[in-house]
Structure 1
Amino acid sequence: MLSTYEKIFLLSLVCFWFLGTQKSFACDSCNFFEYSLLENRSYVGIFYRYRGFDDYKSYTSISPASQSVLTYPQQLSKQVLWGNYPVIMHEPEGNNLYVKKSKQDFETYQTLEVRGNFTIKNKWNLTAVLPYEFNKVYYEEFLDLPNPSRDTTLFVQGWGDLTLAGDYIWLIYNQKSRHTIRPGFAVNLPTGQALIQSDNENLDYYDPIIQPGKNAFAFIPRLNYQWFLNNHGVNAGGSYQWSTIGAQDYQTGNSFNAYAIYFHQFQVTEKILLAPNVGLYFESSQKDIWESLEQNLTGGDVTFAQLGMDLNITKTTVSMSYQYPISQNLHGNQILNSSRLSVGITRNFKL
């Protein structure tokens, strides 16, 4: 017979599973996921995150005959015009511009984050995340007719959106194990740089996908769970994100994330604790919407295998994780996910 605690926990998991099975598919950007220390404690830290993309599901060769049919439009379509301002497209396909997709194309998204995590009376957890983004897109051949160009690089950097989050810490102890259940809620605030322009003579805006900020609110209910027994443990959780319309009338598709990680702690010395981990991470998102039109080259789902390590020396923790996609199903001929890397260092303290 299930206890009241167990019934509430199972009901919460069912609710998140239901959200995740609705129409949602993977996207380029993931929801905010909190870094979990080996124990509940406050910390400040700096993190570096890298996300890479390369390769396509298919390639299209362009012959001279087919090139002659492609003519630059006298007026840009609505999809590449925001108000009276032209926009440099991150994914030009289908928008009167054309990219000859090749093996050399790639995208990289690098982030430096300052994080503050504050645990109050071991019952409440408050987190703030401030990112700075370095986003780069490279095309070997970019057909902006009648002036096609090669080796085209789009590079944008700036402050991303501030994230604030709060969780309730629910501890359940028994003689054999410890359970920690953490329902919570996060909000992305429209504080980042979302209207960065290129340095060309027209001062075109970069498109919203590669802007550091979104100039939109995002609301993220989430649930995290940890089970711990005799130096073994499991971390699992999920979140769902709703976004409002942001800069350039662009709205990021609603998304769902989930993860499950097994870890084992090794007490190396009295002051050194080592905790390798392995698991799976899944993210899924709907198509983005730009000026009431679904963007066909956005959305899909992807599953990553994850390998990581936490090293704790007294009050300092170094965290590293590497993710590699093992399954992905993206809408259209999008560039595919490659590897991801996260490295962080935190300093723990008590309030």
Structure 2
Amino acid sequence: MQKSYACDSCNFFEYSLLQNKSYFGVFYRHRGFNDYKSYSSISSAAQSVLTYPQQLSTTLLPGNYPIIMHEPEGNNLYVQKSKEDFETYQTIEVRGNFTLKNKWNFTAVLPYEFNKVYYEEYLDLPRPSRDTTLFVQGWGDLTLAADYIWMIYNQKSRHTIRPGFAVNLPTGQALIKSDNESANYFDPIIQPGKNAFAFIPRVNYQWFLTNQGINTGLSYQFSTEGAQNYQGGNSFNVYAIYFHQFQATDKVLLAPNAGLYYEASQKDLWNDVKQNLTGGRVAFAQIGLDFNISQTTLNLVFQKPISQQLNGNQILHSGRLSVGIIRNFKL
């Protein structure tokens, strides 16, 4: 009988079977953002001085107007923040996982991204425009990962410790241009790829007792400088999930789970300058369900933010959803 568990991480989207098996899977992931901590307006006189974006992260406009722009800073993109603004990041992800002799686990992840950003008022100087939508799609960066599997058995339970290491390769599309006359590149933060390496040491611990257990893990990601001289800030993730399995029929297994997920990231760098509208901390409550029939599993995960302290007046997390179809096999 195949038993499974899943969790979501911005560093590395993790899916692992409770029994060590190889598998092939297709995932859909959705991340949404809307609302801000505060709203302000900018007068036309203040808009006229928005000419040197690299200065905006640390100064106020004349008349004590607050700085209002989208991250990353310094790309001539200014936004008067509104309740109508939103961002969505959707991913179709193909994943292959191979387990060798119950001791080693190797994973490859290839994403295709659909990123959409909407602003009610977009200050494209000198002529502001309204109802502006930016849409970017393309291949994301390939991820390769390897884990060592260390299992400890006793009469009542099983402990599994999986230290590992993942690498994001600069294979995705990171220099997609907009369709306007100037044909500027889209923001690095909404490009499908980063044109940078990312290195992710991580460890997972799982305790399994009869038909229930706890799955915990943590990871740390640090990246090199990528396209447009932009470098993502280092980030840390940790999660703890409780799961319980129910045998519905001889072939159908249900495994609901619930827990907490936390991530913290440092400020991004643009031309080696910290970007004040990036980075911060957010905690999510998570619920999920695995629906398993023989060798096939449907995986569902939803995360809702319960606390977020972001740097500056960034757009806020609204929720995350993941749906996956996994076919596992034993070699």
**Correspondence 1:273 to 2:253:** yes
Kept in 2, the 8 Å contact 1:134–1:155? The answer is: yes
Which amino acid in the other structure matches residue 70 of structure 1? Answer: Q
Q: Of 208, 224, 227, which residue of structure 2 is paired with 1:228?
A: 208
Query: Counterparts of 1:135-174 in structure 2 under 5 Å?
Result: 135-174=115-154
2:184 matches 1:207 = no
Which residue of structure 1 lines up, in the alignment, with residue 318 of structure 2? 338
> What's the TM-score once normalised by structure 2's chain length?
0.90
SS of the residue aligned with 2:302?
strand
Q: Does 1:182 align with 2:162?
A: yes
**Length-normalised TM-score, structure 1:** 0.85
CA contact (8 A) 2:70 2:77 kept: no
Q: Deviations over 1:221-267 (max 9, x none)?
A: 00001101120100100000010011111110000011100000001
Going from structure 1 to structure 2, the CA distance change for 1:77 and 1:183 (only over 3 Å counts) comes to closer
Whole-Å Cα distance in 2 between the matches of residues 78 and 59 of structure 1?
21
Question: Do 1:46 and 1:114's aligned partners in 2 also have CA atoms closer than 8 Å?
Answer: yes
**Matched AA of 1:337:** H
Structure 1: distance between partners of 2:195 and 2:70: 18
1:1-351 alignment runs, 5 A limit: 30-62=10-42, 66-71=43-48, 77=54, 90-91=70-71, 98-351=78-331
CA contact under 8 A between 2:86 and 2:118: conserved in structure 1? yes
Paired residues of 2:165 and 2:202 also in contact (CA < 8 A): yes
| Aligned counterparts of 2:226 and 2:101: Cα–Cα separation in 1 | 37
- Whether the 8 Å CA contact 2:283–2:308 is kept in 1: the answer is yes
Q: 4+ residue runs of structure 1 moved beyond 4 angstroms?
A: 72-80, 92-97
Distance 2:156 2:52 in 1: 70
> In the alignment, which residue of structure 2 is the partner of 1:23?
none
Q: Percent identity?
A: 76
Q: CA deviation at 1:68?
A: 2.0
Number of aligned positions between the proteins: 312
Compute the displacement of 1:296 (Å).
Answer: 0.6
Between the aligned partners of 1:173 and 1:299, the Cα distance in structure 2 is 41
Relative to its length, the structure with more helix (as a share) is: 1
Shift of 1:200: 1.1
Tell me the alpha carbon deviations over residues 283-316 of structure 1, each in whole angstroms, 9 at most, x when there is no partner: 1100000001101100000000000000110000
Separation of aligned partners in 2, 1:75 and 1:239? 37
CA RMSD in angstroms comes to 1.9
Q: Which runs of 5+ in 1 are unaligned?
A: 1-28, 81-88
Is the 8 Å Cα contact of residues 304 and 325 (structure 1) preserved in structure 2? yes
- Matched residue type, 1:38: L
